[in-house]
Amino acid sequence: WSVQIMLKKLIPCIIFFFICCNSYATEYKLTDNICIMSDIKNDLLLVYKSDCKKEKYLLDTFQVPNDIPKIDFVFQEEISNKKNIFFSISYSDSYRDVNNKTNYADTYHINYVYQCETQCKFNKKISNFFGNGGDLINIYTNKIIYKFPYSSEKSIKNELKSSLFKKWIYNKKIQGKVIKKTYINENSQFSFSHLGYLIKNDEFTVKDISSKWLNISFTNKNGNRITGWIACNDTNICNN
C-alpha cells in the first residue's frame, strides 16, 4: 500500500515535469498590438501573429528532420515604407556532404521574412537575400571552413544598413570586381566541386544574392559568358 501511495504522489510530479520540459510556447512582443507566438504540436513548430490579446492567426509551420526547430530571434523592420517581420529558426543538423569531407557544426539556421500590413505574406526577395545555412567544419581537422554570416539578429540588422542591401532591394544594377581568386559554384553554398574560377580584377554583374553568395554573370576575353555563385568576401562588393 505504501508503494501505491508513493506512486500516486509521484505521478502528478512526473506529469508536471514532462509538461514543463516539453513546453516550448514563447511570445515575442514587437509593438503594443503585434506579437509573434510559437508553439509545438507533435514535431511541428507553429508560428502565429497576434494582436497581443486574443486574436491570432497561423503565420507558418516548420518541420525538420530528426529535430524540433526553435525560434532564435524575431524583430520588425520597415523597408520601403512597408513593415517586415524577421524571424530566424534553427535546429540541430550534422549532415555530412556527399564527398565525405564536411558537415554542419551542429546548428542549421533558416531566416524568414514576412511583409505584414493588414495580412502577412512571405517576402521571398528578402528571405532569399539572408538565406539559410550553418557553419561547416572539416571532418578530418574539426576546424570551421565556412561560417554562416546571418546567424544573429545583430548581423542581419547591420546588413540592412549596408549599401549592398540598399542597392539590391531597390533593384539597382550591381557590378563588382574579384580581389582574389574565387571559385564558381553551382549553388549558393560552400562546395569542393566547382564550375570554374575567376581571378583578381575579373569584373562581373550580380544577378542574385543569397547568404553573401553572389550569382554572377562573367564574360571572358573570348566572349563566352559564365554564370554561377561566388563568395562575396572574395570581391570588392563585400570589401569596400
Residues 23-32 pLDDT 10s = 456 889 999 9
In this structure, are residues 123 and 140 in contact, taking their beta carbons and an 8 Å threshold? no
* Ranges of H-type helices in the chain: 2-21, 124-130, 153-160, 163-169
Report d(CA 70, CA 56) in Å as an integer.
20
What does the pLDDT look like over 126-169, one tens digit per residue? 999 999 999 999 888 889 989 999 999 999 999 999 999 999 99
Report d(CA 204, CA 182) in Å as an integer.
12
What does the pLDDT look like over 56-77, one tens digit per residue? 899 999 998 888 899 999 999 9
C-alpha cell at 45: 513548430
What does the pLDDT look like over 81-136, one tens digit per residue? 999 999 999 998 876 666 678 888 889 999 999 999 888 999 999 999 999 999 99
> 50: number of CA atoms within 13 Å, CB side?
16
Which residue in the block uniquely carries the three cell numbers 524568414?
Answer: 112
In this structure, are residues 139 and 150 in contact, taking their beta carbons and an 8 Å threshold? no
Classify residue 239 by its DSSP letter.
-
The CA distances from residue 55 to 30, 36, 115, 134, 212, in Å, are: 15, 12, 19, 35, 38
What does the pLDDT look like over 173-219, one tens digit per residue? 999 999 999 999 999 998 888 999 999 999 999 999 999 999 999 99
Which residues does residue 190 pair with via DSSP β-bridges, in sequence order?
none
List, in order, residues 6 or more apart from 206 with CB less than 8 Å away: 168, 174, 175, 176, 214, 215, 216, 237
Rg (C-alpha) for the chain, rounded Å, is 23
Report d(CA 134, CA 92) in Å as an integer.
10
* Ranges of H-type helices in 96-148: 124-130
